Amino acid sequence: MSLLSAVRVVVLVGAVFAAAPTAYAQISAQRLALCAACHGADGNSQIKGIPSLAAQPKLFLETQLVLIREGVRDIPSMKGMLNGVSDAEVTALAKYYADKPLAPVPTDRDAEVFARGGKLAEGMRCGICHLPTYLGREQIPRLAGQREDYLLLSMQQFKNNQAIGRDSNMAASVYGVSDQDLQDISYYLARLTPATTATGQ
């Protein structure tokens, strides 16, 4: 999607969201439209390389929104977009997207790649922090059902020291892991839903 078409979506979605639900009264309609332009109106991104926000832990969203607003986490395409957004609105936005249901995960599945990715993720102990279900918790993001291209991009950023301002505990987790392995892990995680993970939360 080009920037121009993203702007058109802003206008369209702005109309749809003109009346924000009262639970999220602190959120301005324009802000929601701006988020929706890239992350999807329901928080399920339709754009390559852009993460879905739906069903992420609220605290994870809140923390990242603050770090991006402060310029500590540097996302060039979001630079300045959160300037002046109050803490209360950040919290409301986090809750808004945390409450949105995740869209169905891709149904195509290469059993061999899926299995290999699962084994890699287990061996790398992703589940210690992200939980064995990969649903995430508190400040730790949900991996299950996230966009495959974004999972890969994000892990590559950590691997290449480009995840500035993000969790330094995560930073060393993927150093030296081959791109093929990261691809397989992404393939696996993107196709996981709570129903298909072995253990409950």
Partner 1 sequence: MKNYLRAISGLGLALAFGMSAQAQTAAPAAAPAAAPPPAWKQGMPESMAKSTLAPLPGKLVATKAADVPIDKIKLPPGFKVEVWADSIPGGRAITEGENGKYYVGTRALGRIYEITDNGKERTSRVLVDKLQQPTAAYKDGSLYVVAIDKVLRFDGIAKNPNPTPVDITANFKFPPLPHHNWKYVAFGPDGKLYVPFGAPCNICVEPTTEYSQIRRYNPDGTGMEVLATGVRNSVGFDWHPVTKELWFSNHGRDWMGDDTPNDTMHRLKLKANYGFPYCHEGKIPDPDVKKANACAGVEPPVALMGPHAATMGVKFYSGDMFPAEYKNVLFNARKGSWNRTKKIGYDVVMVRADADGKNAKVEPFMTGFLNEADQSWWGRPAYLHQMKDGSLLVSDEQNGVIYRVTYKK
Nearer to partner 1, 139 or 157 (CB): 139
Q: How far is the CB of 32 from partner 1 (least distance, A)?
A: 18
Nearer to partner 1, 5 or 110 (CB): 110
Distance CA 111, CA 113 (A): 6
CA atoms within 13 A on the CB side of 188: 21
Nearer to partner 1, 48 or 125 (CB): 125
Q: How far is the CB of 87 from partner 1 (least distance, A)?
A: 4
For 80-114, b where at least 16 C-beta lie within 10 A, e where not — what string? Answer: eebeebeeebbbbbbbbbbebebbebeeeeeeeeb
Q: Is the dihedral of CA 115, 116, 121, 124 positive or negative?
A: positive
Q: How far is the CB of 66 from partner 1 (least distance, A)?
A: 4
Nearer to partner 1, 7 or 88 (CB): 88
**What single string gives the DSSP state of each residue in 56-94?**
--HHHHHHHHHHHHTTSS--GGGTTTTTT--HHHHHHHH
Q: How far is the CB of 127 from partner 1 (least distance, A)?
A: 8
Q: CB under 8 Å to 15, separation ≥6 — which residues?
A: none
Nearer to partner 1, 6 or 124 (CB): 124
Q: How far is the CB of 141 from partner 1 (least distance, A)?
A: 12
Residues that bind partner 1 (CB under 8 A): 59, 62-63, 66-67, 70-72, 87-88, 90-91, 116, 119-120, 123-125, 127-129, 131-132, 138-140, 161, 168-178, 180-181
Instruction: Compute the C-alpha angle 184/140/123, nearest 5°.
Output: 40
